[in-house]
Structure 1
């Protein structure tokens, strides 16, 4: 009897300490995992905003549009320093490329413009990047984290005894937690 109590005692200690140690990683993976699950509605790396407006002045056509004129169009947006190049994908439509991925699309005939601002999501983007394994150093830490999760799981399974443990409610929850992913693997 003393032997099983000793194992449970050490399971609690290991479970508690590893849980505290890896809590940050669990939160990072959980939050970025939620965002990555909804990539069709949330871009985890970039925030993209669109602004549509009308340019009041008359604009030159393709032949008359030069860099200086494009820079005057970028002034109200605060993007003159980010100009990289411009071109006309259609006769009356000019696209201006800006550093960082932002762009401006202008119909020179009608004066309608669409400014698309692309900015990095610093926190969520960095968290999501960890899911893509950014390097060898991360592979080592992620492997240690995975082993830690296995140990946390196994110590949690043997920590409780009786009706709340593996032979009672805990066992039923364990089986359900195994069957649900298996069900989704085979049927979805």
Structure 2
């Protein structure tokens, strides 16, 4: 493959995927910090509640649906769980957390954050067409990286003279991170 073809492939894939690269990068950064803040949604109201919970073994999906009706939640139940001594129920636009021992809890009503919630869906979407599109995107990112490495063929900054060292460092750094901290 000649240098002009490599540049053309690199440029055209880069232009085509520019928006998706930026979207994935931004939503990835937001997902990295979702334990500190939840960019996908914002709270519009909190409400304290007091309920009498049954034994932990009886905290089923059916129980969660019935309790939701009792406390006035009409959202669709997404999931329920017991975690760290609390009974949690997650709905489309509402979350409920109740202490198992005391029955004291809180209902949080929220709305999806425009644009940001849609960007974050890119990382979570599991529909077949999106999976295949993401696979093609991944292959194109590899192509962009490889064609970028091959574009400079003359001088002291070629892949052969300098680029391989930076590429190796770029591979070693995440491996060290995984070995030392994961």
Q: Which TM-score band applies after superposition, normalised by the shorter structure?
A: 0.5 to 0.7
Counterparts of 1:147 and 1:122, CA distance in 2:
30
1:15 aligns with 2:30: no
Q: Radius of gyration: which is bigger?
A: 1
In the alignment, what sits opposite 1:129? Answer: 121
- Determine which of 170, 178, 183 is the counterpart of 2:176: 183
Residues 15, 163 of structure 1: CA spacing in aligned structure 2 closer, same or farther, 3 A cutoff? same
The structure carrying a bigger helix percent of its residues is: 1
Alignment of 1:85-100 (within 5 A): 85-87=69-71, 96-97=72-73, 99=75
Alignment of 1:64-83 (within 5 A): none
Counterparts of 2:107 and 2:146, CA distance in 1:
53
User: Any runs of at least 4 consecutive aligned residues in structure 1 with deviations exceeding 3 A, and if so which?
Assistant: 49-52, 84-87, 96-104, 114-117
The TM-score with structure 1 as length reference comes to 0.63
For the aligned residues, what is the CA RMSD? 2.8
Q: Tell me the matched-pair count.
A: 138
Residues 132, 103 of structure 1: CA spacing in aligned structure 2 closer, same or farther, 3 A cutoff? closer
The TM-score with structure 2 as length reference comes to 0.65
Residues 167, 42 of structure 1: CA spacing in aligned structure 2 closer, same or farther, 3 A cutoff? same
